[in-house]
Structure 1
């Protein structure tokens, strides 16, 4: 039977032919594109399927004290993981890893049986133990070299140094503040795998070495740090206090030689509480243990703040050293009778005697002379409305009344250090400006950084604001504060042959009805050219709690020990200490 092709048949055939050649053209163009334009991309994808990358953790930079002593270093450890496709005897792998690494068998089993490219079992494994496991040649078990942060002095300066997590990143303290400098850049190891994801033996691995982090050299002096920590622990035990803090700083440039905030915690075991408890451990418990009181908490400073009040009055031109005052044991402000710590009163006294006696009525009258606006102007100049800028995380700021809300009573109590809160470091910064000639320095720990070969890579810079206090006022205040130690309430910090200035304080915590106190003393030496300043806070001491009685002597002992170490020696021609009888009332504030 003869087939007759109609015009419709020919059209359909033409359409099929065109479609065929169009599809062939598209395929040809695509193949050309893959072979030329996209060749590199597809080659990379093919290699990615055949290669497995393992990270090499970078060596974290060390932290040193000012003398080159390691405060935070690295310890060689290993990371152990498994590759599911390479495991030949899963039960043996599970048994060995759970026993050797002291992990629950069910946890190890979940990781071993998980069908993933690579499953980490445990990090920070001691190298000896890792070598022991490596020697067993368990198929599918991978052991990589790693680094673990190590703190040679365990608890020392724990609230300053801080610690790192399992990933070697900083969590608190200097470790987190300088994390970008310390952490370095990780490297990698690339190995070739087959279609099943099993690494091919005898194939060269590609290794990209990491870059070690920078080292941080600090202003901390390990010898001073150890000594003040020892003194703080002695006071903590003797006075059964809640906490004891001691800061030693150079008032000329803000370098902090030591900071002890006891009780401290073990940096090598930072998730172990430093006290016993039957309660379930919570994140808040850890946070409180890690918290640096000197940086992150505020308090009412009490009479040490009289340094600020007196300085402001001299700067405002409303006070002279020999101005006369009278203290009957109280001062009446509006409808309030605000008492002096000496109930019988100090009677007639000059301002010099008033600051030596730490007389509250004298300072309330000085506050009235200054006025609210002048008082707040003095606070601003001494940096008390701003953070100090210390190189630690979590710094708190002061808490003051709004200026327009301050009345006569508030001004009176503020003049002797109550009704507001500041941090201990804010007080030190302000006091340093008072005695160093008027420079507001930035308290700090970091001094400079170095590379792996100990070459200096960066000298760290900090802001200094000039003109906070005039030279004349600074000289006057140094003389007055030296008299406080030589003859006044700070007498128990006196050391024959040394010129020491300072101020005592005994501040009552809120609520006042609970009779809880913070005893403190702020001292500096030499009085005429201060090179070292020390603040001690004793939080809730039991028994006698007067700052002049229990805090000042500790600073005296510290200076007797560290001043010669710092190259500050006694004046052998100075007169020996004279015997003075000082009543409890005269020594309290």
Structure 2
């Protein structure tokens, strides 16, 4: 027991000693051990990857990430002497004028004196803990690019190491577009201060473009950090789009020019490749408060409205495919006004007496409202559901499943007279007005996809915006063209409609969309649309003008739709939208036009070079090298003749003429260019001292 008692006492004393030592460390030695802990610190740091690029169809950069920097100064960095004064202060006092002058050269918006006052303000700032000098003082308020950052980093003190000089920075990834606002709403935008996508392909493909974050441990050992990689970041993939920069620029300029001409509010243009469905150009222009036009909203995929007369093609395609009408059938349009279920249906020329009796093809050529609505109401009035089912069958109502946020599918309602929703109610007038493009809601992208199917012999393609995903220059995924419908109508029906659409341009209302160099097929459209409050009668009439078609008509390569929104008259789909279509079609075909080199030869030009008089030996050497049969004209007095008389230099070039005159001590004064036409001193005149000969060249 005595031995156990001694052991228990000893252990108790040891316990008290451990507790006492711990209390001593926690109180008396707290500051010392806190400093030791600050010298050895380990943190986990997220490493951001590089965001992928967005490229055009031919590999040109349309959106790319570049580094940007914000630069700061730590005025408490550096060692202190025994009095608590930073050793760097004397260097700072000697170099501050040089630094401020250098900053003024880099950022001329601010004077050297303003930079000096700003930096001294940060140096004298009193912090919350009582220390003097800001730890994170912004040298310049905005982000700067890499080249500017390097210039700032080379200034005195700023070039020192972080813990010695105090200069430090933050790195950001900035999204830049080499082609500016070209296809801005389709390519997409990024929020400025945040690394997050805003719209377009940037948003739709954000997870692919963003990549995966990495992880790094930072261990502080004494005054230095040691970075220990744990997980490497995975950079985002590059996205190759179907956009063609040249076609996009062409379509944008043509659309904006016409909007300015007609004082339009909004415009849309979509250019699609027939066989693949590739969207080569997509333009969305809206008038800003300053009167200029900008890409604000992607109206091509989101703006649903009543399409107007371009919808008549869908109505007749259904009727032709069902076999209820044919092109030889005649329609009594009368004087241009016909009552339908208590409401007057009017043609655009009703004030001029209308079109009288016309056939089905002519009804589309002149865009007769009566011609279309009369037949559709006659053959589908007893069963409107069959007509709407036909519209669904031909693909005008198809959900295109676009890879862009904001796409709105078409709204073409089925007959329903029992609903309480007024917008869905089906009345007797619904069918005739729907047949000419009213009482439906369709975005331009759906209309152009439908016309593209007609151009593609009935095969409907999904509009394609992305062709490939690439990484490190290698294709990692290919997006093949997607067929939405193998056949929207019978082959003969499609051929008939192609012929009618070609006649619309050649002999109908779409003449301004045509071209003398190739055939164009398409349809005009003019519709009155509601204002922003949903009213048609607010005092100002708004029109939705459109032209949809394809070219060349005999072998379609491209389908295009142009839509314009404007207030008041005049308003013409063929005369306004058709003009934009014409410019786009001509420009696109000109880009792909290939001619023989022989076509560049001018039949009136001479293939024998004209040779001036002068040094015939040198000229003959050049002519022999060019393998021509020409020879230089002889010049007997070029090197021969009396050195005391003025030579004949007419017909010579300036170089030979001056040489010949000055070799005889006659000064030459030249006027004009080309060959010597005349000389002020006649040939053969005796040379006198100080003689000046004026040469007129032509």
2:239 aligned partner: 216
**What are the within-5 Å matches in structure 2 for residues 121-160 of structure 1?**
124-135=143-154, 136=158, 137=160, 141-143=167-169, 145-160=171-186
2:578 alignment partner in structure 1: 552
Task: Indicate the residue corresponding to 2:279 in structure 1.
Answer: 256
Structure 2 residue 551 is matched with structure 1 residue 525: yes
Q: Secondary structure at the match of 1:465?
A: strand
Secondary structure at 2:461 match in 1: coil
8 A Cα contact 2:314 2:396, kept in partner: no
Contact 2:285/2:296 (<8 A) preserved:
no
Instruction: Answer whether contact 2:54 2:238 (CA < 8 A) is retained.
Output: yes
Higher alpha-carbon deviation: 519-528 or 538-547: 538-547
State yes or no: 1:512 paired with 2:536: yes
Distance 1:114 1:422 in 2: 62
Q: Describe the shift of the 1:291–1:48 C-alpha distance in structure 2 as closer, same or farther (beyond 3 A).
A: farther
1:160 counterpart SS class: helix
Matched, 1:246 2:269: yes
1:143-182 → structure 2 map (5 Å cutoff): 143=169, 145-165=171-191, 166-182=193-209
Name the counterpart of 1:31.
none
- The offset of 1:524, in angstroms, is 0.3
Displacement of 1:140 in angstroms is 5.5
CA RMSD of aligned residues (A): 4.0
Change (3 A) 1:85 1:120: closer
Whether the 8 Å contact between 1:172 and 1:393 is mirrored in structure 2 is yes
Partner of 2:258: 235
Q: Is the 8 A contact 1:192 1:200 kept in 2?
A: no
TM-aligned CA deviation for residue 325 of structure 1: 0.6
Conserved 8 A contact 1:57-1:146? no
Aligned pair in 2 of structure 1 residues 112, 163: CA closer, same or farther (>3 Å)? farther
TM-superposition CA deviations, 1:19-63 (whole Å, max 9, x none): x99xx9xx9xxxxxxxxxxxxxxxxxx999722444443221111
Match of 1:379 in 2: 391
CA distance in 2 between partners of 1:442 and 1:485 (Å): 26
What SS does the corresponding residue of 1:425 show, helix, strand or coil?
helix
Shift of residue 563, structure 1, vs aligned partner? 1.6
Q: 2:210 aligns with which of 162, 183, 187?
A: 183
Q: CA deviation at 1:81?
A: 6.9
Q: Distance in 2 between matches of 1:216 and 1:131?
A: 31
Q: Which of 335, 339, 343 is the aligned partner of 1:336?
A: 343
- The gaps in structure 1 that reach 5 residues or longer are 6-12, 28-45, 265-273, 278-287, 570-589
CA spacing shift, 1:124–1:502, aligned 2, 3 Å:
same
For residue 449 of structure 1, report the CA deviation from its aligned partner.
1.3
Paired residues of 2:546 and 2:562 also in contact (CA < 8 A)? yes
The corresponding residue for 1:300 is 306
Matched ranges for 1:35-74 at <5 A: 50-74=41-65
**In the alignment, which of 312, 319, 325 is matched to residue 325 of structure 2?**
319
Could you tell me how far apart the structure 1 residues matched to 2:593 and 2:557 are?
A: 10
SS of the residue aligned with 2:284? Answer: strand
Residue aligned with 1:213, SS: coil
Corresponding residue pairs, total: 507
Asked which structure has the greater RCO (Cα within 8 Å, sep 6+), the reply is 1
Q: Given the superposition, is the C-alpha separation of residues 108 and 217 from structure 1 closer, same or farther in structure 2, using an over 3 Å criterion?
A: farther
- Does the aligned pair in 1 maintain the 2:55–2:61 contact within 8 Å? yes
Larger of the two Rg values belongs to structure: 2
Contact between 1:54 and 1:190, CA under 8 Å: does it hold in 2? yes
- Contact kept in structure 1, 2:276 and 2:481, CA below 8 Å: no
Which residue of 2 is the match for residue 458 of structure 1? Answer: 477
**Counterpart Cα distance in 1 of 2:126 and 2:319:** 74
Q: Determine the structure 2 residue equivalent to 1:412.
A: 432
CA shift at 1:439, angstroms? 2.2
Structure 1 residue 206 and structure 2 residue 197: aligned?
A: no
Go from structure 1 to structure 2 and tell me whether the alpha carbon gap of 1:78 and 1:52 turns closer, same or farther (over 3 Å shift).
Answer: farther
Offset at residue 387 of structure 1 (A): 3.3
CA pair 316-215 structure 1, distance change in 2 beyond 3 A = same
Mapping of 1:421-436 within 5 angstroms?
421-436=441-456
Q: Does the 8 Å CA contact 2:237/2:471 hold for their aligned counterparts?
A: yes
Which residue does 1:347 correspond to in 2?
356
What is the aligned counterpart of 2:368 among 347, 359, 372? 359
Which 10-residue stretch deviates more, 460-469 or 508-517? 460-469
Measured in 2, the distance between the counterparts of 1:48 and 1:508 equals 75
Q: Match for residue 576 of structure 1? A: none
- Residue 309 of structure 1, CA deviation: 0.5
| Aligned twin of 1:397 | 409
SS of the residue 2:440 aligns to:
coil
Deviations 1:139-190 (CA, angstroms, capped at 9, x unpaired): 5553355432111111111121111223443211111111112112334554
Distance 2:552 2:402 in 1: 24
Q: Secondary structure at the match of 1:408?
A: coil
- Matched residue SS, 1:419: coil
> Hey, what's the Cα distance between the residues in 2 that align with 1:179 and 1:462?
22
352-361 or 460-469, which deviates more = 460-469
SS at match of 1:311: helix
1:540 aligns with one of 553, 558, 566 = 566
With 121-130 and 468-477 compared, the bigger mean Cα shift is at: 121-130
Alpha-carbon distance change, 229 to 330 in structure 1, aligned in 2, over 3 angstroms: same
Cα 1:105–1:113 shift into 2, 3 Å: farther
